[in-house]
């Protein structure tokens, strides 16, 4: 007779001899991931307990020269996700399709998945992670946010006990490089963009970066993990950096601020966040203000941990490979102990607040007629909308023309917009040249 407490015998599993991997995509990230597996083969084998073997690599264009044996490559990506001998798929293609369908089918075919795809996870993360969990599989996506900087795992694990009160991220290296050049070299946006393109930091079509889409995907992913429900992409307020000028950079600098493209998330209510991406004046004393060039950073404040900042290389072949291979090692270790997947699912349905409800300071630059009472008149308009002024600089541009820059105290976004509308209707205000939100020192 067997005791009720005796261990149950489970069907014998074939011993693992190697982790067999299929790679979908062999561009910047795919080549980096492959190289890291080769260069650090011994250490990776030691850490997992088994060697990693890349069985097949899926690409689109068979005519491109590749540095590896042609027999490794295929344009038939289905042959990878249908190959029963493959344990793990690295999805390094990008975009929602065909990557999304491939990830889903790979999971349904019993394969763990590691992806670097921010757009896919931002839009479909909840569904895919739930699917992975229900199948007892891993779906990891550390490389999707912040390249080589560990952000996803710390939010899922080490910081998970905190109530996060605010997250502020520089999550796009292209725009941070452009803004750094504008600040340090006095370059205008178009010149700084052209230089970034020449150096390979910006793509020929820079929309995804400079118009803030990339940052919006990343801050949405981080917020979805931190608040446990997927942030709908149409609930993320998004503005890019095309409106930032070298003149604004100079004024901001003189007033003690850096201009950064920030992704910012704050909880507003139970189950509701305000998520936004826009160029922002941030005090030079804030740790994130000194993050230069292509570097990325995430600063956050948790109720128990206090202030934390992560920074490092947010993109590029090697740093991104570091995150992909870290995830692969995690999967391998889990497989080695017969684990049934460690995907941490989150639901959909996080509510998002309108930017109208934001309370923040503003920077405003106006071109005005240089004549008596202009300032008093403008101050009256601000006052009528409960916007109070914190600082001001004025200079004469030419005979009868002046430029005024204001910083406001924190006020309601909708009140500031209403004041701008009234200012725009004034004859003495010739142009509303620019306005940006201002973060306070923490
Ligand atoms: N680049 C970075 O620094 C970075 C950083 C973090 C995250 N990521 C993410 O990593 C992923 C890959 O980015 P990447 O920069 O490596 O892209 P990439 O250099 O453009 O490479 C994409 C790869 O996918 C293949 N591919 C594209 N469409 C395909 C299709 N329809 N069928 C089969 N293969 C296809 C391409 O094939 P061919 O080689 O034949 O053209 C190429 O090998 C994206 O999700 C991106 O957002 C990138």
* CB 212 less than 6 A from any atom of ligand 1: no
- In sequence order, which residues have a C-beta less than 8 Å from that of residue 383 and are 6 or more positions away? none
Spatial distance between the Cα atoms of 295 and 395, rounded to a whole number of angstroms: 35
Spatial distance between the Cα atoms of 316 and 180, rounded to a whole number of angstroms: 18
Tell the CATH superfamily of the 356-438 domain: ACT domain (3.30.70.260)
* CB 143 less than 6 A from any atom of ligand 1: yes
Tell the CATH superfamily of the 152-313 domain: Dihydrodipicolinate Reductase; domain 2 (3.30.360.10)
Tokens describing residue 284? 């030079």
- Buried b vs exposed e over 60-77: b needs ≥16 C-beta within 10 Å? eeeeeeeeeeeeebbeeb
The pTM is what?
0.95
Spatial distance between the Cα atoms of 20 and 419, rounded to a whole number of angstroms: 62
Which atom of ligand 1 is least distant from the CA of 31? 16
Which atom of ligand 1 is least distant from the CA of 30? 16
SS3 state of residue 239 = coil
Residue indicated by tokens 């067999």: 20
DSSP characters for 133-177? HHTT--EE-GGGTTTTS--HHHHHTTTTTSPEEEEEEE--HHHHH
Q: Quote the ligand 1 centre to 31 CA distance (angstroms).
A: 10
* CB 320 less than 6 A from any atom of ligand 1: yes
Q: Which of 123, 218, 229, 260 is catalytic?
A: 218
* CB 315 less than 6 A from any atom of ligand 1: yes
Strands 389-398 and 19-24, how do they pair? unpaired
Tokens describing residue 205? 């079509």
* CB 326 less than 6 A from any atom of ligand 1: no
pLDDT of residue 3: 42
Q: Quote the ligand 1 centre to 71 CA distance (angstroms).
A: 20
pLDDT of residue 1: 38
pLDDT of residue 400: 87
Domain parsing of the chain, residue ranges: 19-147+318-336, 152-313, 356-438
223 phi and psi angles, rounded to 5 deg: -70, -35
Spatial distance between the Cα atoms of 139 and 422, rounded to a whole number of angstroms: 52
Looking at the chain, the number of H-run helices and the number of E-run strands are 14, 18
Q: Of the residues 64, 77, 92, which should be mutated to test ligand 1's pocket, given the most ligand atoms within 8 Å of the CB?
A: 92
* CB 58 less than 6 A from any atom of ligand 1: yes
* CB 64 less than 6 A from any atom of ligand 1: yes
Instruction: Indicate if 218 belongs to the active site.
Output: yes
Residue indicated by tokens 């899926």: 58
Q: Quote the ligand 1 centre to 124 CA distance (angstroms).
A: 18
Cα 406–chain centre separation: 30
Q: Domain 19-147+318-336, what fold?
A: Rossmann fold (3.40.50)
Spatial distance between the Cα atoms of 254 and 183, rounded to a whole number of angstroms: 11
Q: Write the CA distances from 360 to 240, 348, 388, integer angstroms.
A: 18, 28, 12
CA Rg value for the chain: 25
Strands 164-170 and 295-302, how do they pair? antiparallel
Walk along the chain (442 residues) in steps of 10 and give the mean pLDDT of each run: 43 76 98 98 96 98 95 98 98 97 98 98 97 96 97 97 98 97 95 95 95 98 97 98 96 97 96 97 97 97 98 96 98 90 89 96 96 90 97 89 96 97 95 96 74
Q: Quote the ligand 1 centre to 203 CA distance (angstroms).
A: 13
State the Cα angle at 433 between 170 and 398, rounded to 5°: 130
Q: Quote the ligand 1 centre to 296 CA distance (angstroms).
A: 20
DSSP characters for 5-26? TSPPP-PPPPPP--EEEEEE--
Spatial distance between the Cα atoms of 357 and 353, rounded to a whole number of angstroms: 7
Spatial distance between the Cα atoms of 33 and 37, rounded to a whole number of angstroms: 6
Spatial distance between the Cα atoms of 153 and 141, rounded to a whole number of angstroms: 9
């Amino acid at each position: 007779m067997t005791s009720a407490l005796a261990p149950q015998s489970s069907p014998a599993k074939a011993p693992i001899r190697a982790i067999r991997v299929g790679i979908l995509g062999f561009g910047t990230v795919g080549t980096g991931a492959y190289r890291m597996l080769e260069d650090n083969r011994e250490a990776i084998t030691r850490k997992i307990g088994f060697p990693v073997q890349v069985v097949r690599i899926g690409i689109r264009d068979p005519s491109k020269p590749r540095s590896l044996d042609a027999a490794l490559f295929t344009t038939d990506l289905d042959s990878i996700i249908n190959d029963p001998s493959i344990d793990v798929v690295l999805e390094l293609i990008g975009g929602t399709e065909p990557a999304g369908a491939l990830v889903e089918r790979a999971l349904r075919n019993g394969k763990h998945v590691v992806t670097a795809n921010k757009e896919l996870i931002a839009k479909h993360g909840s569904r895919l992670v739930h699917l992975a969990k229900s199948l007892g599989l891993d779906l990891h996506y550390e490389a999707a946010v912040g390249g080589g900087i560990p952000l996803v795992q710390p939010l899922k694990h080490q910081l998970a006990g905190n109530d996060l009160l605010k997250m502020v991220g520089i999550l796009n290296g292209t725009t941070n490089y452009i803004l750094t050049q504008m600040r340090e070299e006095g370059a205008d946006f178009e010149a700084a963009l052209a230089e970034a393109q020449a150096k390979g930091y910006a793509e020929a079509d820079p929309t995804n970066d400079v118009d803030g889409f990339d940052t919006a995907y990343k801050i949405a992913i981080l917020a979805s993990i931190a608040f446990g429900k997927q942030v709908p992409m149409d609930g993320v307020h998004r503005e890019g950096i095309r409106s930032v000028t070298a003149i604004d950079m100079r004024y901001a600098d003189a007033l003690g601020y850096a201009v950064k493209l920030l992704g910012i998330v704050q909880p507003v209510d139970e189950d509701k966040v305000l998520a936004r991406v826009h160029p922002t004046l941030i005090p030079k004393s804030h740790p994130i203000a000194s993050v230069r060039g292509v570097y990325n950073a995430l600063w956050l404040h948790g109720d128990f941990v206090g202030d934390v900042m992560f920074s490092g290389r947010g993109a590029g072949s090697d740093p991104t490979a570091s995150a992909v291979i870290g995830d692969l090692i995690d999967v391998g270790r889990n497989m080695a102990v017969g684990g049934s997947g460690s995907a941490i699912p989150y639901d959909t349905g996080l509510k998002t607040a309108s930017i109208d409800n934001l309370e923040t300071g503003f920077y405003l630059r106006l071109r005005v007629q240089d004549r008596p009472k202009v300032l008093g008149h403008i101050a009256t308009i601000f006052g009528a909308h409960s916007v109070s002024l914190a600082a001001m600089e004025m200079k004469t541009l030419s005979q009868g023309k002046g430029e005024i820059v204001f910083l406001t105290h924190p006020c309601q976004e909708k009140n500031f917009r209403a004041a701008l509308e009234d200012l725009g209707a004034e004859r003495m205000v010739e142009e509303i040249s620019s306005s940006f939100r201002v973060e306070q020192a923490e």
